[in-house]
Structure 1
Amino acid sequence: MSTAINPRQLLEDMFRAAIESAQPHHGIPRHLPAPPRGRLIVIGAGKASAAMARVLEDHYLGSLSGLVVTRYGYAVPCSKIEIVEAAHPVPDAAGLKAAQRILDLVEGLTPDDLVLCLISGGGSALMPLPLPGISLEDKQAVNRELLKSGASISEMNCVRRHLSAIKGGRLAAACHPAKVVTLLISDVPGDGPCDIASGPTVGDPTSCEDALAIVRRYGIQLPPAVLETLASGRGESIKPDDPRLAGSETHFIATPMMALEAAAAVARQAGIPAHILGDAIEGEARDVGKVMAGIARQVVRFQQPFQPPCVLLSGGETTVTVRGNGRGGRNVEYLLSLGVALDGLPNVHAIAGDTDGVDGQEEIAGAILAPDSLARAWEKGIRPKDALADNDGHGFFGALGDAVVTGPTLTNVNDFRAVLIL
């Protein structure tokens, strides 16, 4: 059965299915609220927020207005909702201005009004409105330090929530007494609402002291104003039991698990059994690559815990502690580590990519690994272990012609990984 399989095509088909499953048009229509007695204000942020806004306009029968902010290149034309583009992952002035305008839009609402908030991954950087005393430059510096620290996405967002005038429940509190309905596309392990875009409309159970502990744990250097905000407790966020959040609703439109299930269906249709190992696998990308290589070897040698042919699927957000000067990318770092550990093991192929189309800071979603990838690299004079040590996964797979480029996908349900064993 497996002899008829084109490994690269099947891996790419699974990745495309995962991305398609997370498109907003699949989930938004069934979660649209009834028209309010007052106004409907639409706000939001994230890489999928513009696509979500367009679906909302196409399906909502009442009148509406609003503003959402998305990543540069991710805008989708809307007629009633204003779309603003800003920078990600390091915020810029456009995001700062958009965040302030969003707060201005929800000022002075009444109990008859309804705020529909469209939130997806990337919203933390796209709404970088800092607390008083913290500058945009301070926020940019903190983001850069967090991105290279090796901290998990949950830890990074804990710090961000306590420096923001809009995250950590503050946006929902600003909407009070209007009702708030939040539609979420999850890009975080565990689907915690307070971690998606740093939770602008949900209560935050963490504290300034928790944020400081993360800073100390990773040796993150903070600007003086940021350190003072955390140390003084001035950055405390809105807690889950705050009465201003009473009555707020949250609905998931797409999640990493939904994407993995869509990919599994593609594999099974091709006659390959699919096994989902987890949708929230975290850790250093190169360590996760080694572990996955060990599992693949067990399958090949002992037909345990699964018999080949099969595909092993996983999601979740790994981290990279930057030590080299390469082009980065957590998915390609995982994949390169997997390849080094497999060392050309026959019949094992893999793909890893970010479902938003951007791995790290490159406009490249990820890459594909084949049994002959290392041999082809050596022929070009590229040493795989050196590339891994230099955090240069993008450089490695780009040189082999094995990069996966999707362009803006207009959604984001975190990382996608598949190991195909034939």
Structure 2
Amino acid sequence: MNKIRNADAILSQGDLSSRQVVLEIADRTLERLDSYRRIRSIMRMEGSVLQVGTRSWDLSLKRNVYLIGAGKACNHMAMAVDHVLGDFLTQGIAIVKILEETDRFNRTEVFVGGHPLPNEEGHRASRKIIELVDQAGPDDLFIAVISGGSSALMSCPIAGISLQDEIDTTDVLLKSGAGIYEINAVRRHISALNGGMLAKRIRDIGAELIGFGISDAVGSPATGDIAVPYPAYKSTPIGPDMTTLDDARATIVNRNVADRLPASVVDYLMNAGPEAETPKAFPDNTYFLLNTLPDSCIYAKEICEEMGLPAMIVSSFLEGESRDAGTFFASIAREIQTYGNPLKPPCVLLSSGEVTTLIDDNSVIRGHGGPGQEMAVSFAITAARTKGACLLSIDSEGTDGTANVAGGITDSTSFKAAADKGISLYQALREHGCFEALDSIRSTVFTGNTGTNLCDLNILYIPEPKAGE
């Protein structure tokens, strides 16, 4: 397999036939989503002319060509642009979550930022991006590659709010149960770059901007022809921001976090005037949208059908508590195997979205994990009664929560396998130590950087029950 690096370990125990099916679907889906391949399919140089899809730019007319980027898929996106431009690239700055040994750049400086919590290196890189933009002029071209995670990786709080304030704000919001739109509403309005502020800075100096984006927003429509510029692009920090100051204030009130957030953040957001609002339109920029969140399920369904497996997309809007989602999908698996509703087995159910994990008290944490791993563990508890049922739940970019794995895979044998090792999956959920529990039964999924970032991908396989079972 090209994307799932520990497939051999995963297939060393458990229901091997079910795991093999799920892993093949996941691996082939991630391969199709890889942004390096997506960009190279529409971008090329013809002499001094840069051709991107249906548009072209003569780079001999530009004084400088700059590459800037951030995100969990930024490695592959930035490499694609860097490799295509070659000597036409003046300078590049990319902020990634994990730097791989196989990453190769020609003229791009790479920084390892922090995610989900910002860090000092990401902040330093963001300051360098600001310096690069501020010394540029109208004859320069900026090419930006942005994927999910840029809000944390491209960390540059406004004056009066420190980096530590931004880190603490992110930590509180992630544990509050808030959805990503709510979290971004706060983070974007305290940033000097996110929420479209980077694009505004480029516009203010008169330079041209070409943007490549991956949208991980729940509710985004599926992509069409990626070679055609996308007029409705909405992705921070290079596109217009749809969140508002009022959204940020509502998040603080609705999630009851005013007393836990840094005072500097609360005071600023509650008292900021209209001039602090983020920009809402950039009609002169050219954007190419490579993938959106529904694409992962669409591609996975096509792959299932190529494999001769009936498949249904349950939802590309999946949100809520991760452990509840795991229990729900285990219940559906039992319904399918017992009564053939809504599909007859063997079949596959697919979903995407962004489930979350509520942590009211940090003192209960005894391990590592993330929403995908908690979903897989919760599934294992209930799925023990559905022979052969197998669920893979990963964050499609390759890291889930606080663990350096993409997520987890469990089947109807996983609960017993853990118990045989003296591990309580119930306790793992209570103490948010699902990584340790899954790792002990070789059920974590390791991919490294995948080249995409479309939030969660959940693949559930339900085999036909064998006679007598």
TM-score (norm: length of structure 2): 0.82
CA-atom RMSD in angstroms: 2.4
1:84-163 matches, within 5 Å, as 84-163=111-190
1:372 aligned residue: 413
2:83 aligned residue: 58
Q: Which deviates the most, 160-169 or 178-187?
A: 178-187
Q: Distance in 2 between matches of 1:69 and 1:298?
A: 45
CA shift for structure 1 position 93:
1.2
C-alpha distance 55-105 of structure 1, shift in aligned 2 (>3 A): same
Residue 272 of structure 2 corresponds to residue 233 of structure 1: yes
CA contact (8 A) 1:45 1:70 kept: yes
Q: Distance in 2 between matches of 1:327 and 1:147?
A: 15
Q: Distance in 1 between matches of 2:252 and 2:212?
A: 31
1:180 aligned residue: 209
CA shift for structure 1 position 110:
4.0
C-alpha distance 269-8 of structure 1, shift in aligned 2 (>3 A): same
Q: Distance in 2 between matches of 1:55 and 1:82?
A: 14
Amino acid aligned to 1:332: Q
CA contact (8 A) 2:158 2:191 kept: yes
C-alpha distance 328-174 of structure 1, shift in aligned 2 (>3 A): same
1:246 aligned residue: 283
Q: Secondary structure at the match of 2:317?
A: coil
Q: Deviation string for 1:116-144 (max 9, x for gaps)?
A: 11001221111110010000110111111
Q: Which deviates the most, 148-157 or 19-28?
A: 19-28
Amino acid aligned to 2:34: Q
Residue 208 of structure 2 corresponds to residue 168 of structure 1: no
Amino acid aligned to 1:164: S
Q: Distance in 2 between matches of 1:204 and 1:298?
A: 42
Q: Distance in 2 between matches of 1:205 and 1:255?
A: 17
1:19 aligned residue: 30
CA contact (8 A) 2:234 2:240 kept: no
Match of 1:69 among 67, 82, 95: 95
CA contact (8 A) 2:394 2:458 kept: yes
1:298-313 matches, within 5 Å, as 298-313=335-350
2:225 aligned residue: none
CA shift for structure 1 position 164:
0.2
1:34 aligned residue: 57
CA contact (8 A) 1:124 1:198 kept: no
Q: Deviation string for 1:214-262 (max 9, x for gaps)?
A: 1222222111111111011158332324xxx231222211233332233
1:179-328 matches, within 5 Å, as 179-191=208-220, 199-220=236-257, 221-233=260-272, 236-241=276-281, 245-323=282-360, 324-325=364-365, 326-328=367-369
CA contact (8 A) 2:18 2:390 kept: yes
Amino acid aligned to 1:310: C
Q: Distance in 2 between matches of 1:265 and 1:22?
A: 13
Amino acid aligned to 2:417: R
Q: Distance in 1 between matches of 2:219 and 2:287?
A: 15
Match of 1:333 among 374, 382, 385: 374
1:319-398 matches, within 5 Å, as 319-323=356-360, 324-325=364-365, 326-398=367-439
Q: How many residues align?
A: 414
Q: Which runs of 5+ in 2 are unaligned?
A: 1-14, 44-51, 222-229, 464-469
Q: Which runs of 5+ in 1 are unaligned?
A: none
CA contact (8 A) 2:181 2:243 kept: no
Q: Secondary structure at the match of 1:174?
A: helix
Q: Distance in 2 between matches of 1:116 and 1:19?
A: 25
CA shift for structure 1 position 74:
4.3
Match of 1:399 among 419, 440, 443: 440
Amino acid aligned to 1:27: R
C-alpha distance 198-161 of structure 1, shift in aligned 2 (>3 A): farther
CA contact (8 A) 1:167 1:198 kept: no
Q: Distance in 2 between matches of 1:255 and 1:62?
A: 31
Q: Distance in 1 between matches of 2:144 and 2:19?
A: 38
CA shift for structure 1 position 386:
2.4
CA contact (8 A) 1:46 1:197 kept: no
CA shift for structure 1 position 111:
4.0
Q: Percent identity?
A: 31
Amino acid aligned to 1:7: S
CA shift for structure 1 position 335:
1.4
CA shift for structure 1 position 43:
0.9
CA contact (8 A) 1:272 1:310 kept: yes
CA shift for structure 1 position 292:
1.8
CA contact (8 A) 1:274 1:312 kept: yes
Q: Deviation string for 1:54-94 (max 9, x for gaps)?
A: 11122237712321111232472211222222222211111
CA contact (8 A) 2:315 2:350 kept: yes
Q: Which deviates the most, 400-409 or 143-152?
A: 400-409
Q: Distance in 2 between matches of 1:406 and 1:72?
A: 12
Q: Secondary structure at the match of 2:422?
A: coil
